[in-house]
């Protein structure tokens, strides 16, 4: 298996325009319309590079986050996850967990977007990630 086995994620939403505005605001980035091979599917893509190695992930258990539908959390890499977390409520979402230290791995924050999806923010703040993650 490759070091970063996850190569793509999809966050399903009911209101594409509202969700696009939310993530553009929180992450301070621009999403682009992605042509879909399926007529019934509309997509707005996060910035990407076909040359980058993808993203890593883990199985987790956390109080307040139920398994079943919505049990996968996508973590967005940030310089300081506290900055992006501070934009969540103004963009129409909710902060589930503010910036929290996770030892040698840096910091995380959890939010709930305008569609009810839980997502994560991660920052290393200068702490190198361990090999293989």
Question: What DSSP element (H or E) covers 48?
Answer: none
pLDDT of residue 35: 86
Q: What is the pLDDT of residues 57-85, one digit of tens each?
A: 677 776 776 777 677 889 999 999 999 99
- Residue 78's domain is classified under what CATH number? 3.10.180.10
Q: Is residue 1 part of a domain?
A: no
Strands (E), the chain: 32-34, 43-45, 74-77, 94-101, 107-112, 118-123
Whether the predicted pLDDT of 5 surpasses 80: no
Q: How far apart are CA 22 and CA 113, in angstroms?
A: 7
Domain enclosing residue 115, as ranges: 16-123
Whole-model pTM: value is: 0.78
Q: What is the pLDDT of residues 73-129, one digit of tens each?
A: 899 999 999 999 999 999 999 999 999 999 888 999 999 999 999 999 999 865 444
Instruction: Confirm if 4 and 132 have CB atoms less than 8 A apart.
Output: no
Domain count, the chain: 1
Q: Is residue 11 part of a domain?
A: no
Residues, the chain, total?
Answer: 133
Q: Is residue 68 part of a domain?
A: yes
Q: Is residue 90 part of a domain?
A: yes
Q: Is residue 104 part of a domain?
A: yes
Q: Is residue 133 part of a domain?
A: no
């Amino acid at each position: 298996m490759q070091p970063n086995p996850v190569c793509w994620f999809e966050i399903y939403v009911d209101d594409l325009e509202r969700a696009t505005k939310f993530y553009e605001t929180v992450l301070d980035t621009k999403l682009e319309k992605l042509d879909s091979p399926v007529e019934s599917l509309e997509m707005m893509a996060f910035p990407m590079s076909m040359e980058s190695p993808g993203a890593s992930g883990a199985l987790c258990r956390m109080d307040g986050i139920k398994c079943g539908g919505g049990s996968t959390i996508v973590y967005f890499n940030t310089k300081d996850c506290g900055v992006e977390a501070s934009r969540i409520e103004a963009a129409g979402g909710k902060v589930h967990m503010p910036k929290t230290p996770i030892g040698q791995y840096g910091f995380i924050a959890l939010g709930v977007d305008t569609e009810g999806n839980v997502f994560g923010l991660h920052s290393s703040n200068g702490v190198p990630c361990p090999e293989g993650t």
